Structure 1
Amino acid sequence: MSPILSEQVAMLMRKVASEIILPRFRKLADHQIAEKAPGDIVTIVDRESEAVLAEGLTRLFPDARVVGEEGAADDPELLDTLGDGVVWLIDPLDGTKNFSEGVSPFAVMIALLDGGEVQAGWIYDPVQSRTCYAARGRGAYVNGDRIVTQTSLRSLPSAAIGVYFMEEEQRRDIEMRADGKLQIATIPRCAGEQYPRIALGTNDISLFARTMPYDHAAGALFLEEAGGKTAWPDGRAYRPTDRAPNLLSAVTPDMWDKAAEILFG
């Protein structure tokens, strides 16, 4: 991943945020919000952002295909092709529910995949003007500064556990296992915020029951390159082509092992 291409992608994300996303923040009309599935919101901003990002990314790297969240919602089989060749994977507005309610955080996320492996990832928070970027084997950066993970230093590890998409029995089991061993933190309802929270020391652990690839590809690489770990509960490394439930992340590999033992051991 060349520095020039990396900055061009970041510039495209900032342009979409300034021209499409922020002008409609807290200004959406009811007819500009719809429900794709129960509890799954889409807005006119999601669709317009994806269209502009797809066009811009195609210009930057014509040999790569584009798979976006909204395109995949219309044609779910697109997600089965993520392991084929070079792919731009787009989440045009992560945290859509927050955005539709007029609150932050929300983010734009892009990952570049080759053969199903994430090679680079970008997360842009328009409200904080924060760009998180990582390239495989080259580290993780926030607004151009290289970062390494740091723990929250709490007496118990801070764990952001997303239980919304869990079955009731699993939810009760997870809560029972965590009791007295983990400090349960409020989730931001935005993966594009949750991964930076782990890397920057706000939380030590996160667990996502729902694991759509556009929600996690960029963040998982960012956390890994900063020194953390994202994997399935059995220890298999995360790949966006694998859509099993329950994706576990932690600030360090040792913390990941501890969390896996507590929550799933």
Structure 2
Amino acid sequence: MYMEKVTEILHEAAATAILPRYQALAAGEITEKSPGELVTVADREAEQLITRRLRELLDAPVVGEEATAADPGLLRALHEAPAAWVVDPLDGTANFVAGRPEYAVQAALVRGGRTVACWIVQPALGQEFTAELGGGAWSSGVRLHREPAPAEPEQIRGAALTKYLDPAIREHIETVRSRFALVESGAKAAGVDYPRLLTGAVDFLRYQRTLPWDHAPGALLATEAGAVAQRLDGSPYRPDDDRTGLLVAADRACWTRVQELITPPVAGA
């Protein structure tokens, strides 16, 4: 596998395209690619560098966030190609634009629709995380293991990005928020939130949008550390599955308990 080399590539992209612009972006270097979705010159330059370097390692399609915004057909590679790279050159662009350190550079390798390796680098926070299917999750040479969450909901801490939720689900989560020790909105960067789950800062993460560049890296990192990343019907997360809704939790008991509490009751049941 290419574990060390890909980590080096992400650090190279950060050093070349991202860190020189951190807290130093010019107004003309920030645009909206869609309403409320920012993109910067750092995103684009980093993705170009990462794409070129990854294809030198393994000449497979690269499903990059910015390239896919221009050509949504690239997503077909996750279904059709024997192998594909997935790249988020700057996860947490809004934080980066605001000068906050909660952003990450992410990549994953997908084979047969399944994530087999992942890399997360947090340039401003000085952290890096990797995982290989069956090989565990690691941070700077230290193997990661997520301890079980508390049994009682009143002691469970979580994050729910409610921006994209159906209004009924959002309203229900607001109703049950007091049942938990804390339900925050998260760092607004999956490449920061997934590692926070593994360090125990939170016990669960609830997402609606599950774009592969956001979740392919973190979901593998979480499961290789002993956590659970599943669709709302209990099926495992896969990057070639374009359904919405994902719940990640410290352990299976926590996943089940949180899912029961945050799922609105079926009308008439």
Counterpart of 2:155 in 1: which secondary structure? coil
| Residues 160, 184 of structure 2: 8 Å contact kept | yes
| Residues 68, 214 of structure 1: 8 Å contact kept | yes
Q: Distance in 2 between matches of 1:215 and 1:221?
A: 12
Q: Provide the residue aligned with 1:131 in structure 2.
A: 128
Q: Letter of the aligned partner of 1:83 in structure 2?
A: H
Provide structure 2 residue ranges, at least 5 long, that are not aligned to the other structure: none
Q: Letter of the aligned partner of 1:66 in structure 2?
A: V
Matches for 1:49-68 after TM superposition, within 5 Å: 49-62=46-59, 64-68=60-64
Aligned residues: 261
Does residue 20 of the first structure (1) align with residue 17 of the second (2)?
A: yes
- 1:31 corresponds, among 12, 17, 28, to 28
> Structure 1 residue 107: deviation in Å?
0.2
Q: Provide the residue aligned with 2:164 in structure 1.
A: 165
Matches for 1:91-170 after TM superposition, within 5 Å: 91-151=88-148, 155-170=154-169
**Between the two proteins, what is the percent identity of the paired residues?**
36
Q: Deviations over 1:75-111 (max 9, x none)?
A: 1121132122100100000000100111120000000
Counterpart of 1:184 in 2: which secondary structure? strand
Counterpart of 1:47 in 2: which secondary structure? helix
- 2:70 corresponds, among 68, 74, 81, to 74
Q: Provide the residue aligned with 1:218 in structure 2.
A: 217
After superposing the two structures, state which structure 1 stretch, 178-187 or 206-215, moved more: 178-187
After superposing the two structures, state which structure 1 stretch, 180-189 or 131-140, moved more: 180-189
> Structure 1 residue 181: deviation in Å?
3.6
| Residues 178, 262 of structure 1: 8 Å contact kept | no
Q: Distance in 2 between matches of 1:49 and 1:23?
A: 12
| Residues 151, 202 of structure 1: 8 Å contact kept | no
After superposing the two structures, state which structure 1 stretch, 50-59 or 30-39, moved more: 30-39
> Structure 1 residue 150: deviation in Å?
2.6
TM-score by length of 1: 0.94
Q: Deviations over 1:56-93 (max 9, x none)?
A: 0011112x221100010001121132122100100000
Q: Distance in 2 between matches of 1:209 and 1:186?
A: 13
CA-based RMSD: 1.5
> Structure 1 residue 259: deviation in Å?
1.1
Q: Letter of the aligned partner of 1:78 in structure 2?
A: L
Q: Provide the residue aligned with 2:197 in structure 1.
A: 198
